[in-house]
Amino acid sequence: MLIRAYIAEFAASMFFMYVIMETGNSLAIGATLALVRILATPLSGGHINPLVTIGLASGDYFPLVEVIPYCVAQIFGGIVAVNVFRNFKF
C-alpha cells in the first residue's frame, strides 16, 4: 500500500508543479491544488509539499520513517514536471 502513496505524491506534485509553470494563473493553480488534494488524500494524505510532510511529522501527525520516501517522491515529481515543461510543449 505504501507504493501507492508514493506514486500518488509523485503524480500530484508533478501535475501541480506543471500547472504552476504552464499557466501562472492563480485561479488555475488553486483549482489544481484542490483537485490533487481531493485525488491524493485517500491514497497518501495529499501532502504535495515536502515541508507539509516535515511539519506533520514534527507534530507527531505523520510517522517519521515515511518522511524521506514521501519527500523524495514529491521532489522527483517536481523535477519531472520541470523536465516535461522544458522539453515538451502541449
Q: What is the pLDDT of residues 39-76, one digit of tens each?
A: 999 999 999 999 999 999 999 999 999 999 999 999 99
What is the grid cell recorded at 33? 491544488
Whole-number Å distance between alpha carbons of 58 and 38: 24
* pLDDT average, residue stretch 18-24: 96
For residue 58, count CB atoms less than 10 angstroms from its CB and return exposed for 0-12, middle for 13-18, buried for 19 or more. Answer: exposed
**Does the domain formed by 2-87 have CATH 1.20.1080.10?**
yes
Note the pTM of the prediction, 2 decimals. 0.94
**pLDDT tens digits for range 80-90:** 999 999 999 77
pLDDT at 7: 97
pLDDT of residue 89: 76
